[in-house]
Structure 1
Amino acid sequence: MLSLTRRNPEFRRLFLAHTVSRSGDAFNTVALVVLVFELTGSGRGVAAVAMFEVLPVLLIGPIAGFAADKVSRRHLMVGADLVRAGAAAALLLAAASLPAVFAVALVLSAAAVVFNPAASSLVADVVDSNDLITANSALWSAAVVAQVIFAPLAGVVIAASDVRTAFAINSATFVVSAALLIGLRSGRAPATIEALGWSGALGGVRVVRRHPLLRRLLIVQVLAALSAGATSGLLVVLAQQRLGVGPGGFGLLLAAIGVGAAMGPVLLRRFIKVGDRRWLFGPYLLRGGVDVALATVTSPAIAGSALVVYGVSTSTGMVAYQSTVQGAVPAEIRGRSLALFDVAWNGARLVSLAAGGIIADAVDVRWVYFGAAGLLFAAALVGFAAPLDTHQRQFSSR
């Protein structure tokens, strides 16, 4: 993976900007949760932050995808970084006001919604198709390692000073990211899009609907999101009620996922193939098995080991999925197509969070994980429904 950053200076800039920005995100995530809990003393306040982070994806996702195809992706990313730098800096002055904190969370998320499809689309513009797996593996691993290292560090920084220091660090990382991205010379010219308004913004829907493999991927992603939203949100409940561990043990469970997610692309990158359904859909079988294990075991050690497997399967599946979509979709429609996947994923995740909370309170948190396993097995079944060579022909003859 490092060889790609050495021989491709444009990807090196993108990789460094991505890594710096993700490191700041880790500080911001921890600081926002701590600040809101300090201001409200309520779990509902923390949940509201999550809501403000998801809503922009649903509301402006299609428009952001349209912009990623219509406007220079580099300029779009730089602008989004500068907006996020300003929003994070605003919390230095408004950290005592809950409405201001929610407003900043909304702005940060909205800017990320603009940034993400442009960034994902740009990857395929700056690397050859043969390097997509390597590029996405490097970006994914950097993001996970940044989360594993800097989230705990953020807690130390906040404890030693206050949340404002974490927000200042986050703001600075966005400025550094923007400076790196300004120097990018690669990337296609903005597309000429004849249809404006919703017709143009929804161009990704038409592409995905007409492409059999992408259509199948979208269905599978929705099923997976209906599973993952609840299980990720309720892991803290499972840790306490079933595994008998407190906040420290819960942190170790999250770390287990992070370790597995970081290991996956590093160990398995050379085996992952673009458009190969074994890597696109096989990980859902493993993740479903992990959810069954989590619903049945009471040993924290076994649960932690299972979550390492969960992390490995999630990261390898994500690299295969991202590389496949980037390679299958023409450059001029790539931003809108990727935005469609983001909207579908986050919409299903929101439904999953709500349903999971109701089931956990009404019955038992174990049944959330049993149900999630069923959804993941269904996702794998949908993915494997067509023969392998059919999928490969669909991909290669786009």
Structure 2
Amino acid sequence: MATSPRKHDIEVEDRAGYLELLRTNDNYRRLWFGSSLSLLGDWFNLIALYTLVSTLTGSPLAIGVIFLAKMLPWALAAPVAGLIVDRYNRRRLMIGADLVRSVIVLGFLFVQEAAHVPLIYVLIAAQVVVGSVYVPAKSASIPNITAPRELLTANALSSATWSTMLAVGAALGGFVVEFAGIEAVFILDALTYLWSAWFVYRTVIPQNTEPDTDPLVRTAARKIMDGWSHLRAHPRVARIATAKATWALAGGGLVYMLTLIGEQVSPGAIAAGIGVLFMARGIGTGIGPIIARGLFTDQAKWPMVLGSAIAVSGGAYFVVGLVPWAPEGIALFTVIALVVMAHASSGGNWVLATVLLQKRTEDAYRGRVFATEWLLVMIAESISIGAASVLLEIGWLDLAGAVQLFAGAQVAFGLIWLLVVVPKELQSDAEVQEAGQADRADKIATPHEDA
């Protein structure tokens, strides 16, 4: 049963400050410290992998398969991961995931020639399957280690940190690849997972786990269907669970094509070019949640903000497809600014959707709901990336045309959200207010037992 909607869900709230949260909440600070450096290593790793596959194969499809190797295994593992997160100790799961991933990433050191590229895909798949447990475990734990007034700040800070590590990791990753070699990046990434495990080990995370003693395999299918049934039974939860996937239907292909644009803006140093554009993506997704937190204090307006953010992101990318991708001069800076704008919008969409989903879902179901949300996102991104990489590989569209096509589709998806979802949310909010008024009237009319 989902948490019953209450009037405070749509009111302006008192919020903790960022420094206040980190200074006073030891458990959140430890979790944040550990995940921050781990994220930095992940972005080092990803830039190195894009560069390695591009250098060994020169194929747009081969690079697209990197994205698919990250998306599809996650999509398949996410529902089971949600069940595991709801059933077992989330802190121990995160520690175990970090330790296993530290070993997996060292396997990239064995890739030396084009014939070894399939090993990259296998290792990426293994890494993300393990990560599919860590991410919902972390998302489901944040409400358990923060006070209500800290929740939005904690999510905004987590999202901004993800983005900052993307920006810094992409920029430094390109630099390290060019000057220290790809192998150094993989070793650094393994060390960051050990750092994360240490900080999670020192974190206390309360949890309301389910008292289910049946074997995991026997109950997995039933529990997964139960999670989907929970979304169907609670439209207020289900609607918000589709916000990120709506962006991803075209956004996945656009982010994939960002790597190909990076090769064109810096043909002599591929890692640096990709790193610069992914740094711009990180800056955008970093400032977007901060802007959203400051501007949109009334939760009743958030669904409209979610749809608008999707459309604005697509509009910015559409202009990217029109601008020449020169390796120097004003054109490059224009592309960087547009990428920042596109992902500031997507970052705002991400953090507001996350907070709404956390508030509308009770703890016992939260892991499955977030895992199901991730399943939707990964399926949407996989379809988008697969379509973009095939279109480019067979030559039906050039890169600029493909960017414009997918960006236009993203604008359309944002408008559909505004026309379909927002009216239902407004109706739901009206019902919440009426229910709150009726509840107060009943309390006034009925004397309290202790009166």
TM-score (norm 1): 0.89
After TM superposition, the structure 1 stretch with the greater mean CA deviation from structure 2, 246-255 or 69-78, is: 246-255
Partner residue, 2:439: none
1-side partners of 2:286 and 2:101: how far apart? 26
Distance 1:11 1:219, change over 3 A: closer
Aligned-pair CA distance for 1:219: 4.0
* Structure 2 counterparts to residues 112-131 of structure 1, below 5 A: 112-131=131-150
Distance 1:153 1:236, change over 3 A: closer
Partner residue, 1:174: 193
Aligned-pair CA distance for 1:85: 0.6
Partner residue, 1:136: 155
Distance 1:150 1:223, change over 3 A: closer
Partner residue, 1:156: 175
2-side partners of 1:396 and 1:332: how far apart? 28
Name the aligned partner's letter for residue 376 of structure 1: G
Contact kept? 1:83, 1:111, Cα under 8 Å: yes
After TM superposition, the structure 1 stretch with the greater mean CA deviation from structure 2, 309-318 or 7-16, is: 309-318
Contact kept? 2:89, 2:209, Cα under 8 Å: yes
Out of 281, 301, 312, the position equivalent to 1:257 is 281
Partner residue, 2:31: 14
Q: CA RMSD in A?
A: 2.9
Contact kept? 1:213, 1:394, Cα under 8 Å: no
Contact kept? 1:63, 1:201, Cα under 8 Å: yes
Query: Quick check: 1:200 aligned with 2:217?
Result: no
1-side partners of 2:253 and 2:111: how far apart? 30
Query: Quick check: 1:310 aligned with 2:310?
Result: no
Distance 1:358 1:174, change over 3 A: closer
What SS does structure 2 have at the residue aligned with 1:277? helix
1-side partners of 2:67 and 2:164: how far apart? 22
2-side partners of 1:267 and 1:46: how far apart? 33
2-side partners of 1:176 and 1:102: how far apart? 25
Contact kept? 2:47, 2:275, Cα under 8 Å: no
Aligned-pair CA distance for 1:38: 4.1
Contact kept? 1:261, 1:313, Cα under 8 Å: yes
Aligned-pair CA distance for 1:240: 8.5
State the structure with more CA Rg. Answer: 2
Name the aligned partner's letter for residue 212 of structure 1: P
Contact kept? 2:167, 2:281, Cα under 8 Å: no
After TM superposition, the structure 1 stretch with the greater mean CA deviation from structure 2, 255-264 or 223-232, is: 255-264
Contact kept? 2:281, 2:339, Cα under 8 Å: yes
Out of 385, 390, 397, the position equivalent to 2:428 is 390
Distance 1:176 1:219, change over 3 A: closer
Instruction: Give unmatched runs, 5+ long, in structure 2.
Output: 1-17, 325-330, 437-451
Name the aligned partner's letter for residue 47 of structure 1: G
Partner residue, 1:95: 111
Partner residue, 1:188: 207
Name the aligned partner's letter for residue 24 of structure 1: G
Q: How many residues align?
A: 395
Partner residue, 1:28: 45
Aligned-pair CA distance for 1:212: 1.8
TM-score (norm 2): 0.79
Instruction: Give unmatched runs, 5+ long, in structure 1.
Output: none
Aligned-pair CA distance for 1:207: 1.6
After TM superposition, the structure 1 stretch with the greater mean CA deviation from structure 2, 144-153 or 373-382, is: 373-382
What SS does structure 2 have at the residue aligned with 1:167? helix
